[in-house]
Amino acid sequence: MEATTWPLFDLRLTTPRLVLRPITDVDIPAFVAAAQSGIHDPARSPFSFPWTAVPDAELPANMAVHVWRTRAQTTAAQRTLPFGVWHEGELVGMQDLVAVEFATLRTVSTGSWLRQSVQGRGIGTEMRTAVVLYAFDHLGAEIAESEAASWNLASLGVSRGVGYLPNGTTRKSWGGSAQDVQLLRLDPDRLRRPAWTLGVEGHDGVASFLGLDAAVPVDS
């Protein structure tokens, strides 16, 4: 599929160490390999839906279906932008940017994972910062939300590093069991803007496809 056929394929975010762009079909084998290399301790899942718990033989097809489904369900009203994350030329994780009824709510949420071999280097903070900057400065979002199981200190640490504030707790079925979940909230004034500038390519086509203004003023 050519980028001109699906405008989101032209979107590219760059930070000092990372490239974030939507997953294409060509990327799916590397996407699967990154997940199969190990993401978390098998004894406890950080994901609300324990998708990594399936047998290795089922994971490739499941991940391909996930990519295709999110692509097919992306509309102006409801969208999931599934960014693959590349570090030193290698696909090392995933960073989702999700919006529902965006024209009314101006709110986005995020979800992500990284292969264990690159965890602990600040990459999680850098990739979350990238998509939040894009949401606030280019999409016109007013609020970014996130959540994590209360025991997931790594994820909560990333949120604090970006500037999120606690926004209450709730009880959910999480990873196959009942868990206390920490809710988090961020607005542009609380965002800890980095010293680097986010590189953005292909936004005009995305804005047109999603029915947004191509140019959103940056208030830094």
171-196 pLDDT, tens digit per residue, is 987 767 788 888 999 999 999 999 99
Res 61 pLDDT > 70: yes
Please give the structure tokens belonging to residue 198.
């986010």
- 219 domain-assigned: no
- Residues linked to residue 90 through DSSP beta bridges, in sequence order: 87
Residue 22 pLDDT class (50, 70, 90 cuts): very high
pLDDT at 169: 93
Mean confidence (pLDDT) of the chain? 84
Q: What is the spatial distance between Cα 126 and Cα 18, in angstroms, rounded to a whole number?
A: 8
Q: How much is the pLDDT for 209?
A: 85
**Is 146 within the bounds of a domain?**
yes
Domain that includes residue 133, residue range: 7-210
Residue 2, domain member (yes or no): no
Give the H/E segment covering residue 34: helix 28-36
**Does residue 215 sit within a domain?**
no
Question: Is a pLDDT exceeding 50 seen at residue 80?
Answer: yes
Question: Does residue 17 form part of some domain?
Answer: yes
Q: Is residue 151 part of a domain?
A: yes
What pLDDT does residue 59 have?
A: 74
176: how many CB neighbours lie within 10 A of its CB? 12
| 187, part of any domain | yes
Count of domains forming the chain: 1
Q: What is the CATH number of the domain that holds 32?
A: 3.40.630.30
Within a domain: 168:
yes
